[in-house]
């Protein structure tokens, strides 16, 4: 990992810094697989790392490939491993990374090209836990009411932007690509603990399987990297408890 030279608070507004950016490149058509390449870039400490990547792509090497869309921490498409931690490139400032920066694709995913990984297996696992409201009961005349406490119970899971940072930082995923991964459990939690949902037992059965929650070793990497601040490990523990007790602990009113 690159050793960071910290940019001071005083530098933030005034200085341009010269960055040394090492990027792990994979260009299958050129026969390049996982080869580090170094770039020197002028940047402001207030630039986001996504700005730095854009500068490299637009002025030095147009073949550099990475995903981005919203550029504001909402779409989750630019998750990558920056200085050894999964981050959203659009949410981290140069000032917080130092002048020596490394960028590589997230671990635990097949690499398609440069910083772009194949998210298909990630979304297949997400679909497996039925990430939608299940309720076949006849709808009431007005909306399905919920108390503030019932709404609060599943709030954390609603913040997920499906960036994949948690799953790509999980040693259990690196060791076993079959297990559903933290992102699936967070999104299962969002519905299992929703008082309006009736699909909890179906989902708990899926997650009690050998590729489900028990593969979590409470390493906490997921919670540490989540750009939405979701206490991922805590939600996984909630689901484990629901499996052990046979039903989720949802407020009755």
Nearest to 119 by CA among 76, 171, 69: 76
Considering only residues 41, 52, 129, 162, which one is a binding residue for ligand SF4 as defined by CB under 6 A? 162
Smallest Cα–Cα separation from 103: which of 120, 119, 116? 116
Measured from the Cβ of residue 63, the count of other Cβ atoms closer than 10 Å reads 12
Near ligand FES in 176-205, by CB under 6 A: none
Q: Is-contact 73 90, C-beta < 8 A?
A: yes
Pick one of 80, 115, 119, 160: the residue that binds ligand SF4 (CB under 6 A).
160
Shortest separation between residue 94's beta carbon and ligand FES, angstroms: 15
CA distance 160 to 48: 21
The dihedral through the CA atoms of 204, 210, 211, 213 has a sign that is positive
Q: Backbone phi, then psi, for 101, in 5-degree steps?
A: -125, 135
Nearest-angstrom CA–CA distance, 57 and 113: 14
108 binds ligand SF4 (CB under 6 A): no
Say if CB 83 and CB 37 are below 8 A apart.
no
Rounded least distance, CB 223 to ligand SF4, Å: 9
Assess 77 for contact with ligand FES (CB under 6 A): yes
- DSSP H helical segments within 41-164, as ranges? 49-59, 120-128, 148-153, 155-158
We find the least distance from the C-beta atom of residue 148 to ligand SF4, in angstroms, to be 23
Residue in 19, 47, 64, 78 binding ligand FES, rule: CB under 6 A: 78
Site for ligand FES in 55-74 (CB under 6 A): 68-71, 73-74
Q: Does 190 bind ligand SF4 (CB under 6 A)?
A: no
164 binds, among ligand FES, ligand SF4, none (CB under 5 to 8 A by kind): ligand SF4
The residue among 44 and 77 lying less far from ligand SF4, judged by its C-beta, is 77
Among 21, 80, 88, 186, binds ligand FES (CB under 6 A): 88
Binding site for ligand SF4 (CB under 6 A): 76, 160-166, 182-183, 186, 226-228, 230, 232
């Amino acid at each position: 990992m690159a050793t960071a030279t910290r940019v001071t608070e005083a530098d933030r507004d005034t200085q341009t810094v010269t960055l040394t950016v090492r990027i792990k490149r994979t260009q299958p058509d050129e026969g390049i697989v996982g080869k580090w390449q170094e770039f020197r870039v002028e940047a402001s400490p207030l630039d986001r790392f996504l700005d730095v990547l854009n500068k490299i792509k637009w002025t030095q090497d147009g073949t550099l490939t990475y995903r981005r869309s919203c550029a504001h921490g909402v779409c989750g498409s630019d998750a990558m491993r920056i200085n050894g931690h999964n981050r959203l490139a659009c949410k981290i400032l140069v000032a917080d990374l130092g002048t020596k920066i490394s960028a590589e694709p997230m671990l635990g995913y097949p690499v398609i090209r440069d910083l772009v990984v194949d998210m298909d297996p990630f979304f297949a696992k997400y679909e497996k836990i039925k990430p939608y409201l299940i309720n076949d009961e006849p709808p009431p005349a007005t909306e399905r009411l919920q108390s503030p406490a019932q709404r609060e119970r599943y709030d954390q899971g609603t913040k997920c932007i499906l960036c994949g940072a948690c799953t790509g930082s999980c040693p259990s995923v690196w060791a076993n690509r079959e297990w559903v991964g933290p992102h699936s459990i967070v999104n299962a939690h969002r519905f299992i603990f929703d008082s309006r949902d009736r699909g909890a037992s179906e989902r708990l059965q899926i997650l009690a399987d050998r590729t489900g929650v028990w593969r979590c070793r409470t390493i906490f990497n997921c919670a540490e990297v989540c750009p939405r601040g979701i206490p991922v490990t805590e939600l996984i523990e909630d689901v484990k408890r629901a499996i052990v007790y046979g039903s989720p602990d949802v407020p009755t009113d």
